[in-house]
Amino acid sequence: MIIAVLVTACEGELSGGLRRTAPNAPPPMDATTPTTQQPGTIQLPPIPLTDARSAITGDEAVTFARRVAPMLVGRVPSEAELTTLSTGGAGLRTVVEAWVKEPGFAEAARDWISVKLKASGTAGGINGDLPGNLAAFLVRNGRPHAELLTADRCYDRAGAPTACDTGAPFTAGVLTTRAFLKNTSSRFNLKRARTVVKTFACSDYPMDNTLQPPMPRESLIPLFQVDRATDTSAGTFGNGFACYTCHSQFSAHAQVFVKFDDQGRYQAGATGLQDMAAEQGRSTNGLFTSHFTGAAAASEQSQIFGKPVQNLAESARVIASSQLYLECSVRSVAGYVLSLSETEANELPKPVVEEIVGEALKTAQQPTLASLVVEAFTHPSMVSARRAQVTP
pLDDT in tens, the chain (392 residues): 222 222 233 433 323 333 344 444 434 344 333 333 444 333 444 445 455 667 899 999 999 999 999 999 999 999 999 999 999 999 999 999 999 999 999 999 999 999 999 999 988 899 999 999 999 999 999 999 999 999 999 999 999 999 899 999 999 999 999 999 999 999 999 999 999 999 999 999 999 999 999 999 999 999 999 875 444 544 544 544 458 889 999 999 999 999 999 999 999 999 999 999 999 999 999 999 999 999 999 999 999 999 999 999 999 999 999 999 999 999 999 999 999 889 889 989 898 999 999 999 999 999 999 999 999 999 988 888 766 544 44
Are 295 and 236 within one domain? Answer: yes
Q: Of 109, 29, 8, which Cα lies nearest the Cα of 344?
A: 29
CA distance 154 to 138: 11
6 occurs within a structural domain: no
Are 237 and 287 within one domain? Answer: yes
Strand spans (E) along 212-364: 302-304, 307-309
Nearest 5 degrees, angle CA 220-CA 221-CA 222? 110
Task: Count other Cβ atoms within 10 Å, centred on residue 309.
Answer: 21
Are 353 and 266 within one domain? Answer: no
Are 354 and 270 within one domain? Answer: no
Are 57 and 97 within one domain? Answer: yes
203 occurs within a structural domain: no
Are 298 and 328 within one domain? Answer: no
**What pLDDT score does 51 carry?**
53
Are 276 and 345 within one domain? Answer: no
Cis upstream peptide for 392 (omega within 30°): no
What range does the domain containing 229 cover? 208-310
CA distances from 69 to 24, 91, 95, 267 (A): 10, 14, 10, 44
**What pLDDT score does 227 carry?**
73
114 occurs within a structural domain: no
- In the listed set 310, 334, 368, which residue is the last one of a domain according to the structure? 310
- In the listed set 278, 310, 342, which residue is the last one of a domain according to the structure? 310
Pairing of strands 302-304, 307-309: antiparallel
Are 262 and 289 within one domain? Answer: yes
Each residue's pLDDT tens digit, 252-305: 999 999 999 999 999 999 999 999 999 999 999 999 999 999 999 999 999 999
CA distance 101 to 9: 39
63 occurs within a structural domain: yes
70 occurs within a structural domain: yes
Are 229 and 260 within one domain? Answer: yes
46 occurs within a structural domain: no
47 occurs within a structural domain: no
- In the listed set 310, 338, 366, which residue is the last one of a domain according to the structure? 310
Are 295 and 328 within one domain? Answer: no
pTM: 0.85
282 occurs within a structural domain: yes
Are 225 and 290 within one domain? Answer: yes
Are 291 and 223 within one domain? Answer: yes
19: amino acid identity, one letter: R
Structurally, the chain folds into a number of domains equal to 2
Length of the chain, please? Answer: 392
